[in-house]
Amino acid sequence: MSGILALVGGGEWSEGCSFDRGLLEASGGTEVVVLATGSAYENPDKLVVRATEWFEGLGATVREAKVYTRPDAVLAADAELIRDAKFIYLAGASAMHLRSVLKDSPTFDAICAAYRGGAVLAGTNAGADVLCDPMVDSRGGAFTVGLGVVSNLAVIPRANTWSHDKIHRTVELAAKGLSLAAVPEATALIRSADGLWRSEGVGDVSIWVDGKASTIADLRS
């Protein structure tokens, strides 16, 4: 058993992100726990304020889990808040920082426990990237180890900002058996609790399986 997983391509909490209303309703709650860990050094307060204003418009409140460094994740002062959450949003710009902070930590254990217990887990931009294994290093487009909430799937967030050639190079680097999804901003690739995938939002999600153009119905994760 697990909850709903949403991999958002970025452009989060803005016009066009209509999927957030459905995710909130599916969570059964009126509170969203936001971890802006991936933007620890890029004014994360701005992300939290944007999330707060966005979800207020949907009738919900936002609580920030202040997990920005490895000691924050290990001490896990907010672990109980996260473990009890019905809707968790992982955000930020650096997947590498997210991984280094969360990997093998009590905070990540709490995120996984909430998700396995039925919570909605959403990752946006680097948050979407790092939840997969492998994840994509956006600097060059190569693959590296992610946190593995979902395996055998990698995503390219903010795919609308990548050139065709850069995406093609990443597709060529994909290992056999790997599914790759290019997810534009204000767009979400969503897996329901029964394991079926769909996309919502303003953009079109492109899928490759074994390096060949495929459809969402072909996803193997």
The proportion of the chain whose per-residue pLDDT surpasses 70, expressed as a percent, equals 99
In the three-class reduction of DSSP (H, G, I as helix; E, B as strand; rest coil), residue 178 is classed as coil
* Interval 115-136: pLDDT, tens: 999 999 999 999 999 999 999 9
pTM above 0.95, yes or no: yes
Kindly state the average pLDDT of the residues 7-18.
Answer: 97
Kindly state the average pLDDT of the residues 100-122.
Answer: 97
- Three state DSSP letters for 109-148: HHHHHHHHCCCEEEEECHHHHHHEECEECCCCCCEECCCC
* Interval 148-201: pLDDT, tens: 999 999 999 999 999 999 999 999 999 999 999 999 999 999 999 999 999 999
Q: Where are the domains of the chain?
A: 5-218
The count of other CB atoms within 10 Å of the CB of residue 10 is 23
134 prior amide bond cis, ω within 30: yes
CA nearest neighbour of 66 among 51, 79, 53: 79
In the three-class reduction of DSSP (H, G, I as helix; E, B as strand; rest coil), residue 207 is classed as strand
CATH class of this structure's domain 5-218: alpha beta
| pLDDT on residue 219 | 87
